[in-house]
A = this chain, B = another copy of it.
Amino acid sequence: MPVVVDSLPLSDRGLHYGDGLFETMAVQEGRVRLLDLHLARLARGAARLAIPLADADGLAAALARAAADMGDGVLKLILTRGSGGRGYLPPDVPTFSLIIQRYPPVAVEGQEGVTVRLCDLRLARQPLLAGLKHLNRLEQVLARAEWRDPAIAEGLMFDSEGLLIEGVASNVFLVREGQLLTPLLDQCGVAGVMRAHVIQRAAGLGMVVQETRLVLNDLLAADEVFLTNSLHGIRPVISLLGRCTWAVGPVTRALQARLWGGS
């Protein structure tokens, strides 16, 4: 079973290099929401970074135990490559550190619609890290620091080629003529667990989500726009700084209504 640490040695590679991954999970009534999807993404990331994470069952059990007595809240898991190695070189014998932290619930907001802005920061393109929820998040920190107005719920991010990628802490979907579109995340961006869940739920409603290259004009031409995030579910985008507006449309409403129900 994985050992969950309560404190981290100052030698941990998670601190020195951001050499690790994380998951932020909603807990509802003592159960981790979308646990399987979180564990699957973590496993993909660990495989890509060659961080060992052999005991998936033990990890799932540890998370379930951490959630069991907390009612509603948030669990954050951090998996690092532990200590060791010589400088950047990973240790000869692969190892890891696992941290599980409990936080109070966040107020779920924006279900009726949110205002967004466009971030100035352009995401760099690194296909080897694209899609992963790794610990190298300075781009998100700098992008999120671009605004403090609480009326703006999220900033949309483009990459260095001008492609629409994601929100700072969410994924983005567009609806155009009834077709669901979301950015392809093969060069940068985080492939969110709620993004994966929405793609699955849409399929249950007979809708195929197309992962594709999208630009600002696709956003402006969209009939509906919404954000996804593990803690907030689906948030319709209704305004870009009050300048452009979108209605909360039927596709968004259908997905919100069916997000958790039977197929």
Q: Give CA–CA (A134, B142) in the complex, Å.
A: 13
CB-CB contacts of A143-175 with B at 8 A, as 1s and 0s? 111001000000000001000000011000000
Main SS at interface, chain A: loop
Interface string of A4-29 (1 = CB under 8 A from B): 00111011111111110010000000
With contacts A50-B145, A142-B49 known, is A12 near B15, CB below 8 A?
A: yes
C-alpha spacing A141/B123, complex, angstroms? 20
Is A139 in the interface zone, CB < 8 Å from B? yes
Q: Which B residues lie within 8 Å of A6 (CB)?
A: 10
Bitwise interface map of A from 74 to 108 toward B, beta carbon under 8 Å scored 1, else 0: 00001011000001111010000001010000000
Residue of B nearest to A19 (CB): B141
A137 within 8 A of B: yes
User: Which residues on the B side are within 8 Å of A50 (C-beta)?
Assistant: 145
Within 8 A of B (CB), among A109-160: 121, 123-126, 128-129, 134-145, 148, 160
Residue from the list B16, B124, B144 in contact with A89, Cβ < 8 A: B144
A226 to B: closest C-beta gap in Å: 19
Interface size class of A (residues with CB under 8 A): 35 or more
Least distance between A188 CB and chain B CB atoms (Å): 8
From B17, B125, B148, A141 is in contact (CB under 8 Å) with B17
Residue of B nearest to A6 (CB): B10
The answer to whether B126 and A124 have CB atoms under 8 Å apart is: yes
Q: Is A141 a contact of B88 with CB atoms below 8 Å?
A: yes
Are A140 and B17 CB-contacts (below 8 A) given A128-B121, A145-B90, A160-B125?
yes
User: What 10 A-B pairs come out closest when comparing CB atoms?
Assistant: A18-B18, A124-B124, A136-B136, A124-B126, A88-B144, A17-B137, A88-B140, A136-B138, A89-B144, A15-B15
